[in-house]
Amino acid sequence: LGSALDMFHKMEAEGPSPNRVTFSVLIEWFSKNGDMEKAVEFYKKMEELGVTPSVFDAHSIIRGCLKDGKPEAAVKLFDESFDSGLANIFICNSMLSWLCKQEKIDEATDLLSKMESRGIEPNVISYNNVMFALCRRNNMDLARTVFSNMLGKGIKPSSHTYSILVDGYFKNHDEENAWKVYEQMTSSSIEVNEVTYHTFINGLCKFGKTSKARDMLANLIKEKRFCSSCMSYNSIIDGFIKEGEVDSAVAAYREMCGNGISPNVVTYTSMMDGLCKNNRMDQALEMRNEMENKGLKLDITAYGALIDGCCKKRNMESASALFSQLLEEGLNPNVAVYNSMISGYRYLGNMGAALGLHEKMLRDGLRCDLFTYTTLIDGLLKEGNFILASNLYTEMQVAGIVADEIMYTVIVNGLSKNVPFVEVAEMFEEMKKKDVTPNVFIYNAVIAGHFREGNMDEAFGLHDEMLDKGLIPDGVTFDILVNGKVGKSQPIGVASL
């Protein structure tokens, strides 16, 4: 590159002057290697020297800018090429594709109109991009309108066009119209390919009709219209697991292997997740061993399924071993994995280990979610550790996480059953003496205590005091004062919240 640039500068200084081919070579090289600043620099220099860029140059640099995360530069260059008449269908389709992926539907449909007004006829790829974006937004009526407009202009849809619509209808829970698209496709002599068949199989599985998808796959294989694939079996296995039909998932897995199709990481992960959730840990671990024997590495989702299964069985020794193993593999635990581990230790009453994982989450830069805080606070209150539970509740509020009914129930039950009112009241008074404002959690504890003791005036007085201090009562406060829930285990009613 250094020598090439030296030669370019020598040409500038001594001649012959760089021409379009010279610039094209450099622009293409910089674009392919992700140095878009240099690519744009030479593109601009090309224009300054009066060398007209080719369609290839404009397309190369616009695609490069979009790929490199520089959409503003790409849009500016596109507008210039469009206004100058340089842009062709390929450049327009690249911009349409980007607009649709960004869900800028209005801009995309506007570009379609502009293309037509400039004599650049949109093709099937143009319309596919727009329909795909509309289907992602579940705007099937408009997607169908775009499809009709395409037919009206004499543009023949591709099998991909029909697959987009089928997928959109299934995601919109509209099986009837999905089949109508299929019928229209077959009646128009468009060959139904494997992508379209898989779209149907996957759609049926997501729609909760996995048995129908399995039968469809079996018929397609029997009629030799479809070569079964790992992807299709993965959809069926995942569908059965989500429907709670684990035995059917196991049968599909065995059929898959019997047909000579090798399971991949996705297959094993789905199977292990389903088996773990149905307390079939022995089979799940067998799957893990089979997977490793085939040289396949577990990903974080697979580890998460196994760890969650062990934790639910209170087998924290195995869960901890799996957790250590995933760290050794260089994988980073996600929030779901940490939550499983924390929940498992909470069930065993090992809050020291649970809190240690919470601290590790924070060190790793992970944001704890509501489940994390609910689990920890529940465990701490059951131990009578009111102060640490209060600190975590404050941490949760500072993080902007809003408590739900489960959290409110945990707090109300925990405060009433496990924390002595005398201890809470003494700490409350001590804080006020030191001019430290108690948080909402502590006020709730004291209000609950007074309510339980029958001191109604004190309870409502503390509510008013909270407001005077700028504290906002939460759902727990209202459940105590309105419904008197200070020692009951029933769920908190939505109306009271």
**Residue 172 maps to a domain:** no
Number of C-alpha atoms within 13 angstroms, CB side, residue 44?
A: 9
Are 478 and 497 a contacting pair, CB within 8 Å?
yes
Report pTM.
0.69
The mean of the pLDDT values for the chain is 86
Considering the domain architecture, whether residues 465 and 422 belong to the same structural domain is answered as yes
* pLDDT of residue 5 exceeding 80: no
**Residue 239 maps to a domain:** yes
How far is 42 from 314, CA to CA, in rounded Å?
64
Q: What is the pLDDT of residues 194-236, one digit of tens each?
A: 888 889 999 999 988 999 999 988 888 887 777 778 899 999 9
Q: Which residue has the tokens 């409502």?
A: 460
Domains held by the chain: number: 4
Q: Write down the pLDDT at residue 53.
A: 84
How far is 478 from 497, CA to CA, in rounded Å?
7
Q: Write down the pLDDT at residue 450.
A: 83
Structure tokens at 224: 């030799």
> CA torsion, points 61, 62, 64, 68, in degrees to nearest 10?
130
How far is 312 from 314, CA to CA, in rounded Å?
5
Considering the domain architecture, whether residues 310 and 361 belong to the same structural domain is answered as no
**Residue 430 maps to a domain:** yes
* pLDDT of residue 496 exceeding 70: no
* pLDDT of residue 497 exceeding 60: no
Indicate the range of 174-188, 325-339, 369-383, 464-478 predicted with least confidence.
Answer: 464-478
Considering the domain architecture, whether residues 409 and 444 belong to the same structural domain is answered as yes
**Residue 314 maps to a domain:** yes
Higher per-residue pLDDT: 489 or 51:
51
Considering the domain architecture, whether residues 479 and 429 belong to the same structural domain is answered as yes
Considering the domain architecture, whether residues 412 and 488 belong to the same structural domain is answered as yes
Residue 139 three-state SS: coil
Q: Of 293, 308, 331, which residue constitutes the final position of a domain?
A: 331
Are 320 and 344 a contacting pair, CB within 8 Å?
no
Q: Of 215, 239, 262, which residue constitutes the final position of a domain?
A: 262
pLDDT band of residue 418 (cuts 50, 70, 90) is low
How far is 386 from 405, CA to CA, in rounded Å?
20
Considering the domain architecture, whether residues 371 and 407 belong to the same structural domain is answered as no
Q: What share of the chain has pLDDT > 90, as a percent?
A: 42
How far is 136 from 108, CA to CA, in rounded Å?
14
How many CB atoms sit inside 10 A of residue 245's CB?
16
How far is 103 from 109, CA to CA, in rounded Å?
11
What is the average per-residue pLDDT within 140-145?
Answer: 93
Are 226 and 194 a contacting pair, CB within 8 Å?
yes
Higher per-residue pLDDT: 438 or 331:
331
Structure tokens at 4: 């090439």
Q: Write down the pLDDT at residue 489.
A: 36
**Residue 459 maps to a domain:** yes
DSSP labels, 347-400: HTT-HHHHHHHHHHHHHTTPPP-HHHHHHHHHHHHHHT-HHHHHHHHHHHHHTT
Q: What is the pLDDT of residues 123-133, one digit of tens each?
A: 999 999 999 99
Cα 292 to its chain centre, rounded Å, is 27
What is the average per-residue pLDDT within 186-191?
Answer: 82
**Residue 104 maps to a domain:** no
**Residue 439 maps to a domain:** yes
* pLDDT of residue 293 exceeding 60: yes
Q: Write down the pLDDT at residue 494.
A: 29
Considering the domain architecture, whether residues 462 and 390 belong to the same structural domain is answered as no
How far is 256 from 215, CA to CA, in rounded Å?
14
Q: Write down the pLDDT at residue 419.
A: 61
Q: What is the pLDDT of residues 440-454, one digit of tens each?
A: 877 887 888 888 778
Considering the domain architecture, whether residues 374 and 412 belong to the same structural domain is answered as no
Considering the domain architecture, whether residues 343 and 425 belong to the same structural domain is answered as no
**Residue 21 maps to a domain:** no
Considering the domain architecture, whether residues 306 and 339 belong to the same structural domain is answered as no
Considering the domain architecture, whether residues 448 and 363 belong to the same structural domain is answered as no
Considering the domain architecture, whether residues 427 and 461 belong to the same structural domain is answered as yes
Q: Which residue has the tokens 């349409």?
A: 96
* pLDDT of residue 492 exceeding 60: no
Q: Write down the pLDDT at residue 360.
A: 94
Q: Of 342, 362, 395, which residue constitutes the final position of a domain?
A: 395
Q: What is the pLDDT of residues 384-399, one digit of tens each?
A: 888 898 899 889 988 9
Indicate the range of 19-28, 264-273, 353-362 predicted with least confidence.
Answer: 19-28
Q: Which domain holds residue 465?
A: 403-497
Q: Which residue has the tokens 């068949």?
A: 197
Residue 120: C-alpha distances to residues 59, 111, 125, 348 (Å): 15, 11, 13, 69
